[in-house]
Chain A
Amino acid sequence: MTDSKYFTTTKKGEIFELKAELNSDKKEKKKEAVKKVIASMTVGKDVSALFPDVVNCMQTDNLELKKLVYLYLMNYAKSQPDMAIMAVNTFVKDCEDPNPLIRALAVRTMGCIRVDKITEYLCEPLRKCLKDEDPYVRKTAAVCVAKLHDINAQLVEDQGFLDTLKDLISDSNPMVVANAVAALSEIAESHPNSNLLDLNPQTINKLLTALNECTEWGQIFILDCLANYTPRDDRESQSICERVTPRLSHANSAVVLSAVKVLMKFMEMLPKDLDYYGTLLKKLAPPLVTLLSAEPELQYVALRNINLIVQRRPEILKHEMKVFFVKYNDPIYVKLEKLDIMIRLASQANIAQVLAELKEYATEVDVDFVRKAVRAIGRCAIKVEQSAERCVSTLLDLIQTKVNYVVQEAIVVIKDIFRKYPNKYESVIATLCENLDSLDEPEARAAMIWIVGEYAERIDNADELLESFLEGFHDESTQVQLQLLTAIVKLFLKKPTETQELVQQVLSLATQDSDNPDLRDRGYIYWRLLSTDPVAAKEVVLAEKPLISEETDLIEPTLLEELICHIGTLASVYHKPPSAFVEGSRGVQHKRLPGSAGSGESVESPDTGSAAGVPDAPPAVIPSQGDLLGDLLNLDLTPPATSGPPPPATSGLQLGAMDLLGGGLDSLMGAGFGAPPAATAAPFSAPVSGGLDDLFDLGGGVGMPMGAYSPPKTVWLPAMKGKGLEISGTFARRGGVIQMEMTLTNKAMSVMTDFAIQFNRNSFGLAPAGPLQVLTPLSPNQSIEVSLPLSTVGPVMKMDPLNNLQVKPTL
């Protein structure tokens, strides 16, 4: 007997028929009718018209019928709130039933009816159920508090349910403890600063006891809660680790990964020379490997997390390379992740194996995967110097296959290899040039052009090659145009006699016929450089470039630390801090790994740390491969020595910030050809180099309580540069709103009026939340204080943060 018969009545009078059946005297007929109603509901049909008739069936001693009516109620109460009130009495009565199953069912269902009027009646039964003698009822009631909180948070606080819930953490039944923890964690998520889960050694002990006895799901909640605790010392840390380790052998992979999170975090506190530390490291590998034999969806999440773990502690999986070898019928999302981890684990010891595998993958069917495999070969060359030669010859083999996308990928990575090992593999250039015509992707074209420009002196027909690209200049993508411009200038500096015409042609194409400001600016810079001081031009354009770093796409260390604290969560899958994507959680606390007690190294919390200045080990700025190509300022102009001060470590936000325009370029332009070109235009640009540092505080202060530290004002725009207007300012956070506070001083002789402010697109998405309120006019020698509220919903430019501010007064 199946339920399909419930769908068969599709005639006109269906609702009418059901109504009659629902009001039947026969129990059995009633039940069948309710089943039909539910069946219609599940497929999305609207059966809300039957509300009163279904609710009438509620008063029954038949448990199945009761459950079915409850199901219906949960679905439709919202749309029929007045009718739903009719059900309240039955609920209240059921909460007193001698059968705990019915008591629990009633309180559970009441919590699911999201109608304000009903929730008022829910409080009393809920209070009783939270103290019920039966643990099954108590554990159901615990979850109900979370439901109620979702509907009416204020009510839950007023009624003191939160305290009752906290008491349940000490309940004698482990299942009740687990549910209380789960409910509290969920509530805490919407109250980031409420300190609901006040963890202390006593509660931790209770949680650890419950951990052994509760269900697998409860274990996940408890482990995730444990991960938020910071042990007092390394001994406590070790004892927690010891009690959590058995969870690594659980059949449920979510339990395993949550346990891994706790261990990865608490391990930080153990002294490295401790025997236990080594034991723990060894214990972590097998469960991670086992996760990879599970269903592909589980594998994917596991791999994303393993990617973080191997970056933080490569030693754990260094001998497990083979488990990451790709099977041809793995889903593509698993293949790509495995490949990434293979490269991270590549070392001198296993590089031969890895290369053989990668070469195998490069002949697979899936284009995305093949591309990534080719790229991976290049990354191996960069990472393991001893293998570079083998990698290059493998890449050349692949180029010989003439498979178009393989050739293009190979050329892109060979360019990176040149940058890592200059003057070593240039013999292959000839082979590369043979494939020039087949390149149709911008990245590959740009890479090839870079190679030709960089090694122009060794390529006899470099000018012809570059000229051939020039014909379709305006149809090329920006990336290629910029690269072509730079390459021809390089060529000119190397072979000035034959290429005069070519360079003039490209400069005029870039400056006069292009609408792209980047291209124009770069064109002008070259033009002026060349016309003013060719020697300086040579020094700038042909300067020795810094070698690219070994690992190209490592996650920035502070972010990595935060992500390690979030192992097993969505953040770990996206590789982004929760603050970057969890809605409405501006106040999400940034988690940090605890410092190691053994080494005595104290890790400052991000909230206070950023103001203190430079951290112990400044993170290296690692530009990704794509940026290297496109970024003129980084690559071509800035001499290695002035690559900017190491940015202070900030929480979450990745600020690889250097004020390139403010520092390097401004002085360059000043020295190079007198007045900066912008000076001729009416608006002037004010580099906010000082302000940028302050911005870091802003980033660090995201989780900061109100009224906290704000840095003193610094001069952003001296009067000399600002035509008499001096601006000093700072950023502060007041009442949860970011404010830009400025003092405007008129040091000129005339009155200033009509102030306006404009924000360039910046990486923080900062934009004025209101107009600039300046009580004009500003007479000479007068100062005024202006406070401008800012929002962070402006357009975001994902680049190296350049934050130029333009304030425009009319004189």
Chain B
Amino acid sequence: MIHSLFLVSHSGDIFLEKHWKSVISRSVCDYFLEAKEKAGDPENVSPVLRTPHHYIISIYRDKLFFVSVTLTEVPPLFVIEFLHRVADTFQDYFGECSESVIKDNTVTVYELLEEMLDNGFPLATESNVLKEMIRPPNILRSVVNTLTGGSNVGGTLPTGQLSNVPWRRAGVKYTNNEAYFDVIEEIDAILDKSGTTVFAEIQGVIEACVKLTGMPDLTLSFMNPRLLDDVSFHPCVRFKRWESERVLSFIPPDGNFRLMSYHVSSQNLVAIPVYVKQNISFLETGSCGRLDITIGPKQTMGKMVESLMVTIPMPKSVLSVNLTATQGTYTFDVTTKVLLWDIGKLNPQKLPNLKGSLSTQTGAPKPEENPSLNIDLKIQQLAISGLKVSRLDMYGEKYKPFKGVKYVTKAGKFQVRT
């Protein structure tokens, strides 16, 4: 099981350690730091490392490494999932997950880690449960605590811990009862030079924000549930009902949570919202190149494409760019060699274009690799897979809740090869 956790900064400082069994010297991190050194880019550090006596399993999030050490055979996915959960919890408690914020709240962090894991076994990882035991820091509360001598730690057993619905606390009360669902879809796609789709799929999630009094039992149904053949659910969803009736039936956790995630695979046809016409070329001699990119709408189902942005990691030998954009602004970062073109809304009447010349190092050979284009975009009120929620019913409580569903489509890893 998980033996110890070290938090390591981007630059390689170990700034927090926690041991759930015997203490392991932080020198064990030397192996990790060595691997980090070797990998160059922090994203490229292999998540599972092996040392003569320990196994090191790590994740990289928000410019921090969460490095866990184990002594025995454990499922690495279990460790990685847990580490991400720790990072999520920090995010949830402190609003961000960074070195400074963790240092500012070490005691709370320490209390949290102690509560999340016992002897390497996960104890309480649900945010609802944790918040009942350790209250998140909050200026008002600390003032009140100082006046009344109260504490940040709950004195009673979290009610949800032992019920059949561990994710929900008992005795929830709201004056306004509301339940919102966001259907968020991301398109992952690779388009080749000529614009043909090499690969495309949709990753969807339904994020919920439920603030309902008591123990509501909800049923969410879809117009076209057949689309969903590959799904994973929050533990609250009753799988049997899904199997037989294709509806989501559940007692929701209180507050924000991810109800389900789904995956519309490349087997189905995935609509590609924009097309890209591009030409990036470098001359054999003369240390310069040309760039010409135009973007236009393709399958947008009549909706507006917003927050359009193109990112191009240029070859290392490119020194500067001299371009003109018909719409939006572009920046070129000389150190990272990333060209960023922020377009904004896509106007179908007047297509945005970026054009001009690139100058490369004199004497350097023509770059061997072709840069890929990374596209970001957003389409409001559309789930590109066509998924639609038909209704939400509530049982078990008498009041009438306010309900809302929102759709949004974004680009995930949307790449155009050149």
Shortest beta-carbon distance, A26 to chain B, in Å? 10
Please give the number of chain B residues whose Cβ is less than 8 angstroms from any Cβ of chain A in the complex. Answer: 102
Check B299 for interface membership: any CB of A closer than 8 A.
no
- Among B41, B76, B111, B162, max chain A CB count under 10 A is at B76
User: What per-residue 1/0 map shows which CB atoms of A570-592 lie under 8 Å from chain B?
Assistant: 11011000100111000000000
User: What per-residue 1/0 map shows which CB atoms of B304-344 lie under 8 Å from chain A?
Assistant: 00000000010100000000000000000000000000000
Shortest beta-carbon distance, B118 to chain A, in Å? 5
User: What per-residue 1/0 map shows which CB atoms of A546-574 lie under 8 Å from chain B?
Assistant: 00000000000000000000001111011
Q: How far is the CA of A320 from the CA of B369 in the complex (A)?
A: 28
* Chain A residues, CB < 8 A from B198: 322, 325, 357
User: What per-residue 1/0 map shows which CB atoms of B231-254 lie under 8 Å from chain A?
Assistant: 111110001101100000000000
Check A2 for interface membership: any CB of B closer than 8 A.
yes
A217 and B413 form a contact (CB under 8 A): no
Q: How far is the CA of A63 from the CA of B199 in the complex (A)?
A: 56
Main secondary structure of the interface of A (DSSP, over half): helix
Closest to A34 in B: B107
Shortest beta-carbon distance, A142 to chain B, in Å? 9
Check B98 for interface membership: any CB of A closer than 8 A.
no
User: What per-residue 1/0 map shows which CB atoms of B34-65 lie under 8 Å from chain A?
Assistant: 00000101011011101001010011100000
Main secondary structure of the interface of B (DSSP, over half): mixed
* Chain B residues, CB < 8 A from A183: 121
B21 and A150 form a contact (CB under 8 A): yes
A208-266 residues at the B interface, CB under 8 angstroms: 213, 215-217, 220, 224, 246, 249-254, 256-258
Q: How far is the CA of A319 from the CA of B82 in the complex (A)?
A: 32
* Chain B residues, CB < 8 A from A357: 198
Check B139 for interface membership: any CB of A closer than 8 A.
yes
Check B261 for interface membership: any CB of A closer than 8 A.
yes
From A44, A252, A289, contact of B263 by CB (8 A): A289
Check B149 for interface membership: any CB of A closer than 8 A.
yes
User: What per-residue 1/0 map shows which CB atoms of A164-181 lie under 8 Å from chain B?
Assistant: 000000000101000100
From B21, B266, B315, contact of A322 by CB (8 A): B266
Check B26 for interface membership: any CB of A closer than 8 A.
yes
A42 and B16 form a contact (CB under 8 A): yes
B157 and A100 form a contact (CB under 8 A): yes
Check B175 for interface membership: any CB of A closer than 8 A.
no
User: What per-residue 1/0 map shows which CB atoms of B369-385 lie under 8 Å from chain A?
Assistant: 11010100000000000
* Chain A residues, CB < 8 A from B415: 327-329
- Among B22, B50, B53, B230, max chain A CB count under 10 A is at B230
Check A3 for interface membership: any CB of B closer than 8 A.
yes
B13-34 residues at the A interface, CB under 8 angstroms: 15-23, 26
Closest to A250 in B: B232
* Chain B residues, CB < 8 A from A27: 149
Q: How far is the CA of A363 from the CA of B55 in the complex (A)?
A: 35
Q: How far is the CA of A224 from the CA of B76 in the complex (A)?
A: 13
Check B417 for interface membership: any CB of A closer than 8 A.
yes
Shortest beta-carbon distance, A37 to chain B, in Å? 10
Check B256 for interface membership: any CB of A closer than 8 A.
no
From B78, B80, B374, contact of A295 by CB (8 A): B80
B107 and A289 form a contact (CB under 8 A): no
Q: How far is the CA of A43 from the CA of B239 in the complex (A)?
A: 45
From A42, A136, A290, contact of B232 by CB (8 A): A290
* Chain B residues, CB < 8 A from A293: 188, 201, 203, 263
A220 and B78 form a contact (CB under 8 A): yes
A42 and B77 form a contact (CB under 8 A): no
B107 and A6 form a contact (CB under 8 A): yes
B233 and A111 form a contact (CB under 8 A): no
B413 and A329 form a contact (CB under 8 A): yes
From B47, B104, B261, B369, contact of A365 by CB (8 A): B369
Closest to B115 in A: A67
If A6-B106, A363-B368, A364-B369 touch, whether A333 touches B46 (CB-CB below 8 Å) is yes
A62 and B266 form a contact (CB under 8 A): no
* Chain A residues, CB < 8 A from B201: 293, 323
Closest to B229 in A: A286
Shortest beta-carbon distance, B58 to chain A, in Å? 8
Q: How far is the CA of A538 from the CA of B199 in the complex (A)?
A: 53
- Interface segment among B67-75, B219-227, B284-292, B400-408: the answer is B67-75
User: What per-residue 1/0 map shows which CB atoms of A57-82 lie under 8 Å from chain B?
Assistant: 00000111101100100010010000
* Chain A residues, CB < 8 A from B59: 295, 297
B230 and A43 form a contact (CB under 8 A): no
B160-190 residues at the A interface, CB under 8 angstroms: 161-162, 164, 166, 188, 190
A4 and B413 form a contact (CB under 8 A): no
* Chain A residues, CB < 8 A from B82: 217
* Chain A residues, CB < 8 A from B118: 108, 140, 143
Check A649 for interface membership: any CB of B closer than 8 A.
no
A215 and B77 form a contact (CB under 8 A): no
* Chain A residues, CB < 8 A from B39: 332
B121 and A569 form a contact (CB under 8 A): no
Q: How far is the CA of A543 from the CA of B76 in the complex (A)?
A: 49
Check B298 for interface membership: any CB of A closer than 8 A.
no
From A4, A253, A327, contact of B77 by CB (8 A): A253
Q: How far is the CA of A496 from the CA of B30 in the complex (A)?
A: 59
From A134, A217, A300, contact of B122 by CB (8 A): A217
Check B156 for interface membership: any CB of A closer than 8 A.
yes
A257 and B77 form a contact (CB under 8 A): yes
Shortest beta-carbon distance, B251 to chain A, in Å? 13
Closest to B48 in A: A573
Shortest beta-carbon distance, A327 to chain B, in Å? 5
B84-101 residues at the A interface, CB under 8 angstroms: 84
Check B207 for interface membership: any CB of A closer than 8 A.
no
A582 and B76 form a contact (CB under 8 A): no
Check A784 for interface membership: any CB of B closer than 8 A.
no
Check B142 for interface membership: any CB of A closer than 8 A.
yes
Check B119 for interface membership: any CB of A closer than 8 A.
yes
Check B303 for interface membership: any CB of A closer than 8 A.
no
Closest to B262 in A: A290
A3 and B105 form a contact (CB under 8 A): yes
Closest to A246 in B: B239
A750-806 residues at the B interface, CB under 8 angstroms: none
* Chain B residues, CB < 8 A from A39: 106-107
- Among A42, A100, A140, A581, max chain B CB count under 10 A is at A42
Check B277 for interface membership: any CB of A closer than 8 A.
no
Check A202 for interface membership: any CB of B closer than 8 A.
no
Check A381 for interface membership: any CB of B closer than 8 A.
no
Check A360 for interface membership: any CB of B closer than 8 A.
yes
From A65, A252, A289, A301, contact of B265 by CB (8 A): A289
Check A372 for interface membership: any CB of B closer than 8 A.
no
* Chain B residues, CB < 8 A from A3: 103-108
Q: How far is the CA of A296 from the CA of B77 in the complex (A)?
A: 11
A101 and B110 form a contact (CB under 8 A): no
A4 and B104 form a contact (CB under 8 A): yes
Check A186 for interface membership: any CB of B closer than 8 A.
yes
* Chain B residues, CB < 8 A from A401: 368
A251 and B233 form a contact (CB under 8 A): yes
Q: How far is the CA of A506 from the CA of B341 in the complex (A)?
A: 62
B125 and A217 form a contact (CB under 8 A): yes
B72 and A582 form a contact (CB under 8 A): yes
Shortest beta-carbon distance, A326 to chain B, in Å? 9
Give 17 CB contacts A-B under 8 Å: A3-B108, A39-B107, A42-B18, A63-B151, A71-B110, A71-B114, A78-B22, A101-B157, A111-B119, A136-B157, A140-B118, A257-B77, A290-B230, A302-B77, A327-B415, A328-B313, A364-B369
| B residues adjacent to A (C-beta < 8 A) | 1, 15-23, 26, 39, 41, 43-44, 46-48, 50, 53, 55, 58-60, 71-78, 80-82, 84, 103-111, 114, 118-119, 121-122, 125, 137, 139, 142, 146, 149, 151-157, 161-162, 164, 166, 188, 190, 192, 198-199, 201, 203, 229-235, 239-240, 242-243, 258, 260-261, 263, 265-267, 313, 315, 368-370, 372, 374, 413, 415, 417
Question: Can you add 4 more A-B contacts, CB < 8 Å, to A2-B137, A286-B265?
Answer: A251-B258, A287-B230, A300-B47, A328-B372
Q: Enumerate the 3 nearest inter-chain pairs by beta-carbon distance, A residue then B residue, closest first.
A: A286-B230, A2-B104, A64-B153
